[in-house]
Chains A and B, each alone.
Chain A
Amino acid sequence: MVDLSPARQPREADARPVPFRGGGFAPGRNRWAGLVVFVALIAFFEVGTRTGVISSLTMPPPSAVAQTLWRLVETGLLWQNLGPSLYRLAMGSLVGCGAGILVGFAIGLFTLARAGLVPLVSALFPIPKIALLPLFVIWFGIGEGSKVALIAFGTFTPTVVATFGAVDGVDRGLIRMAQSFGVPWLRIVTRVVLPDALAGILSGLRVSLAIGIVLLVAAEMLGARYGIGAYILEAGALYDLERLFAGVVILSVLGLLVSAGIGALERRLLRWRG
C-alpha cells in the first residue's frame, strides 16, 4: 500500500544528496601489500627469535637462514645440490608431462582411448606416489632411474586430466566450421584444437610442475647424496633448522621460477588471443 497523499510527500528541507553506493567488490592493484606482509612476517620472527620470545627450538632467526643461504652460494654447495635436483625435475617432468599431454590428447580425440584410459588414469591419480618409491627402486634401480620415474609418474596423471579437459573445452563451433570447409583432420587438430586447448594445458602444467617439486623431496629420500630434497632431509635429521629453512626457501624460489616461466610461456603462446 503506497500512500501518495500530498501531506506525506517529503518536504524540501528533508532533501539531501545520496552518494553512489553500488561500487561492487572490485579488488584493485596494490604492488606493495604483498611485500609488506613478507617484510612484517620476517621482522616478527627476527625480533621474536632474537629476544627469545620464540624459542630457538621452534624457529631459526631469518637472518641466520639468509646467512646459511649465502654460505651455500659461496661454498658452491648450492650448485652441487641444485644441479642433480634440476636434472631430476627436468627429466621427470619432461617425460611425465610429455606423455601426459599425448595421452590427454588421445583421450580428448578418440572414443576408444577415452573409454579405455580414463578409468585407468582415475585409478592411478589417487595413488600416493611416495608409497611406490621402494618398488621403483627395484624396478628402476637406486640411482637416477627411480627418482626420475617417481617425478614422471607424479606429473603424468594431473597433466592427462588437465589436457583432456582442455581438449573437451575447445569451441565445438570452430571445429564444425573447419570440418565444413573440408580442412583435413590433422590440420584441425594442430590449428584449431591445440591453440584453443593450450591455455588449459599450460594452467595444468602449473599444477603438475608444483607436484613435481613436491615429489623431488620424496624422490631424494632414497639413496640421494646430493639434491635439494636430500639437503632438506639431512638438515631435518641433524635438527639443523637454519639449513632446513634454507632448503625450503630454495624450493619456494624454484616454485616461483617455474610459475614465472609458465607465465612467460602463456604470454608468448597465447598472444593470438589478444
Chain B
Amino acid sequence: MTTLATTRRSVLAGIGAASTLPFLPRRARAATPLNLGVLRLTSHAPNYIAYERGYFAEEGFEVELVFFEAAQPMAVAIASGDADFGVTAISGGLVSLAQRGAVKVIGGALAEEPGIPGQVVLASNQAYDSGLTTAAALPGHTFGITTAGSSFHYMLSRVARGEGFDIAQVEMRPLQKVGTIVAALGSGQIDSWAIVPSISNRLLAEGQAKKIADMSQYAPDYQVTTVFTSSAIANDDRARAEAFLRALSRGVNDYNAAFVDKTANAEEQAELAALVGQYVSPDVPAERFLETMTTTSMRINRDLGLSVSSVRDQLDWFKAEGMVPADVTEEMLIDPSFVATF
C-alpha cells in the first residue's frame, strides 16, 4: 500500500511540479515530511483536495497519505508517531489517548447543520415492515455500531436522550467495520443504524434500508469529526500545526464552495469530485460520484472551527458511561488555541 502511494505520489508530484512551478510563491523552506492519516470517505475530501492541489506543498510539506480502515487505529497511529495529523470522530479510544498525554484535538471538521444533508437513522427493510418506522420505536430492536465508544454508539445515545428511552433497551451489535454493518443491515441481521448521508443515500437508493429519522433533530450542533495531532506537535511545534491547518482550510473552502454551498461552477465541482473520487470510490463512475458529492456532502467547519460545546457533551457522555476515567478534563482533550471555537 505504502509503495503504491509513494509511486503514485511521486508521479503526480512530478507532473504537478512541472505544470505549476512558475505560479507557486517562492518559499525558502525545504519540504518537511508529514504523514497524514486518512479514511476512504467523502468526509475526508478536503484532505485529498489540499493534497492534490498542492496546498500542503505550498506550506512546505511533503505529505504522505496513510490510509486507515477505521478511526480507532488512526488515533493509535498518531499516538505512536506513525502519523502526524488525522481527521476523525471523537471515540473513547481517542479520549483515552488524550488522557495519557498522547494526542490533542486542535480543530473541528464535519458538523451537523440544519438545512444541509446530515446523518440519518436507518432501519432494515424487515424491521421497518414489522413496525420500526420511527426512532421512538427503537427499544427492543438491535442497532449496529463498530465498537463501544464509537460515534455510532454516541449517536444512539443522543437518539435515546431525544426520544426519552433508556439506551439499554436497544441491543447494540458491535461489528468492528462499517462494511460489515452495511452488509448486516442489508440482510436484516441488525434492525437499525445511523450513518453519514453519503452511505445512507446509497443504501436508500438501492432499497437496502429505510430512513426513520434525521440525526440533526437529536444533535443539531453535533461536531462529528475533529482534527487531531500528537501532543508533541501541538505543544512544541505550533508553527507546523498552524501551517497544516492553513493548508487544510483551503481544501475545506474548496469543498464547501463546491459541494455544500454550491457557489462554485459545475466545472470546478466535476474537477474536485474526480480528484476525491480516485481515493474514495475509484470503482464508481465519475458522474455518479459527482452526484453523490453534490447531494450528500455535509458541512465541514470553515477554517476548521471547533464546537467546544459539542465536544464537551461527547466527553461528558463518555465519562457518564464509564468508558473513560472520570478524571479526564476538557484541557487534556482539546487545545482550543489553534482555531475559532464556539
Contacts and interface: CB of A to CB of B under 8 A. Distances in A.
B148 A234 contact: yes
Contacts of B150: 237
A239 B175 contact: no
Contacts of B187: 138
B25 to A, nearest CB: 40
B189 A141 contact: yes
Contacts of B172: 225
Nearest to A221: B176
A230 B146 CA distance: 12
A142 B173 contact: yes
A258 interface: no
Contact of A237 (B72, B100, B180, B189): B72
Contact of B184 (A55, A142, A224, A240): A142
A83 interface: no
A222 B96 contact: no
A211 to B, nearest CB: 21
B180 A222 contact: yes
Contacts of A221: 174-176
A238 B92 contact: yes
A239 B75 contact: yes
Interface string A131-149: 0001001100110000000
Nearest to A56: B100
Contact of A238 (B173, B175, B184, B323): B323
B109 interface: no
B190 A142 contact: yes
A239 B147 contact: no
A222 B190 CA distance: 11
A223 B174 contact: yes
| Listed residue (A230, A236, A237, A238) with the most chain B CB atoms within 10 angstroms of its CB | A237
B105 interface: no
A238 B176 contact: no
A233 B174 contact: yes
A222 B174 CA distance: 6
Given A230-B174, A233-B176, A239 B189 contact: no
Interface string B138-150: 0000000011111
A234 B183 contact: no
A240 to B, nearest CB: 6
Given A134-B183, A137-B189, A234-B148, A225 B173 contact: yes
A225 B174 contact: yes
A61 to B, nearest CB: 13
A225 B189 contact: no
A57 interface: yes
A67 to B, nearest CB: 13
Given A57-B97, A142-B173, A239-B96, 17 more contacts: A57-B79, A137-B189, A141-B189, A142-B189, A221-B175, A223-B184, A234-B147, A234-B148, A237-B150, A238-B91, A238-B149, A239-B75, A239-B76, A239-B100, A240-B92, A240-B323, A240-B324
Interface of A: 55-57, 134, 137-138, 141-142, 221-225, 230, 233-234, 236-240
